[in-house]
Amino acid sequence: MSLSARVLDGDRRALARLLTHVENDDELGRIALDRLYHHSGTAHLIGITGPPGAGKSTLVNELIRAYRAHGNRIAVIAIDPSSPLTGGATLGDRIRMTGWHSDPDVFIRSMASRRYGGGLAAQTLALAHVFDAAGFDPIVMETVGTGQDEVAIADLALTTILVQAPGLGDSVQTLKAGALEIGDLFVVTKADRAESATLARDLQRLKTLRQGDPPAWDPPVLKTSATRQEGIEDIFAAIQRHSDWLIESGERERRQRRIAAAEIAAFVQAEVLRRADVNRRQSHVVNLIEDVAARKATPHWAAQRLLETPAFREDSC
């Protein structure tokens, strides 16, 4: 029996093996993903982002508890920072969530962000499709929390949760450009701290700065405290309300198209980078690199020449 068939049959060990093949984007992984893709598309994709130290992993851990209490099978894709030299991940989130290791209805997978932008691994959505086909719903994607991933996650998720915490400095400064526009829920963690109320008020006011027409969905600002075990049910209920609104308004279909476009773009980016790595050993590419380094040519001009050259085509690699 193939790995994809075993995954559809509920084989957890086969699922773990297949996730590795898909993450590595090898031939077996691509073939299996092609077979499983038609069995996906129903799970709710939740993106969780925010600055380092905001309590994203703690929030994810509590959401796992809430969804399990409601009978859901839940998968988590935790995007970890990775070494720019080796590409290896710290796998910190897997260490923090080991309490769910024995639950067959919880699957936590850490991924290295590697060199792809936005704090998101190139194969994030591919893994989500596998989890979806395997019957997990929802699927939570937690970002590294650096750079512009607050914005990038919105292209992968149906519901995006922006997490903020008191004590990280001026709340206005902690928000990356565009983050306010993509948040479907704003969550203030560590609500047991006195300054959390101020942060929540700031976020409530900042919501009014969202550009465009008044949105049909008004993102709630919610507070949670892991130490007091408070606020998680409110977040769970808000996610459910947003999911219902997506379907009733027709917004879910629009976001599904946006996700599909982002995934195609991610694979194109990965393939371009792969071919560039292969071709950088060729003399004409070496000459382009030398010209850019010597300021005889611009990077943009050199990139265009590289894409246009016959040697960049797959059959010449």
The whole-number average pLDDT for the span 106-113 is: 86
pLDDT at 243 over 80: yes
pLDDT at 146 over 70: no
Structure confidence at residue 184 as a pLDDT band (50, 70, 90): very high
- Residue pair 7/133 in contact (Cβ under 8 Å)? The answer is yes
37's CB contacts (< 8 A; 6+ apart) are 129, 133
The whole-number average pLDDT for the span 156-170 is: 85
**Better pLDDT: 5 or 199:** 5
**Better pLDDT: 273 or 18:** 18
pLDDT at 209: 67
Q: Which amino acid is at 93?
A: D
* Residue in 93, 111, 104, 100 with CA at minimum distance from that of residue 135: 104
* Residue in 108, 214, 204 with CA at minimum distance from that of residue 164: 204
pLDDT at 145 over 70: no
The whole-number average pLDDT for the span 125-130 is: 94
Taking the C-alpha atoms of residue 207 and residue 202, their distance in angstroms, rounded to an integer, is 9
The whole-number average pLDDT for the span 171-200 is: 78
310's CB contacts (< 8 A; 6+ apart) are 316
Structure tokens at 211: 């550009």
Structure tokens at 179: 């983050």
126's CB contacts (< 8 A; 6+ apart) are 22, 23, 25, 29, 33, 263
E-strand stretches of the chain: 45-49, 74-80, 106-112, 139-142, 159-164, 185-188, 221-223
Taking the C-alpha atoms of residue 104 and residue 147, their distance in angstroms, rounded to an integer, is 34
pLDDT at 210: 66
pLDDT at 135: 97
pLDDT at 96: 57
pLDDT at 107 over 70: yes
Taking the C-alpha atoms of residue 6 and residue 233, their distance in angstroms, rounded to an integer, is 34
Structure confidence at residue 304 as a pLDDT band (50, 70, 90): confident
* Residue in 238, 50, 240, 53 with CA at minimum distance from that of residue 151: 50
pLDDT at 1 over 60: yes
pLDDT at 87: 45
- Residue pair 36/99 in contact (Cβ under 8 Å)? The answer is no
3 state SS of 310: helix
Structure confidence at residue 267 as a pLDDT band (50, 70, 90): confident
**Max CA-CA distance within the chain?**
63
The whole-number average pLDDT for the span 59-69 is: 95
pLDDT at 216: 84
Three state DSSP letters for 202-228: HHHHHHHHCCCCCCCCCCCEEECECCC
The whole-number average pLDDT for the span 210-238 is: 85
Write down the residue that tokens 């008020």 correspond to.
201
3 state SS of 19: helix
pLDDT at 83 over 50: no
pLDDT at 171 over 60: no
Taking the C-alpha atoms of residue 32 and residue 42, their distance in angstroms, rounded to an integer, is 18
The CA-based angle 250-239-36, given to 5 degrees, is: 70
Q: Express each pLDDT in 282-297 by its tens digit.
A: 777 888 889 999 999 9
Structure confidence at residue 227 as a pLDDT band (50, 70, 90): confident
3 state SS of 119: coil
**Domains of the chain in sequence order:** 40-248 (3.40.50.300), 265-316 (no CATH)
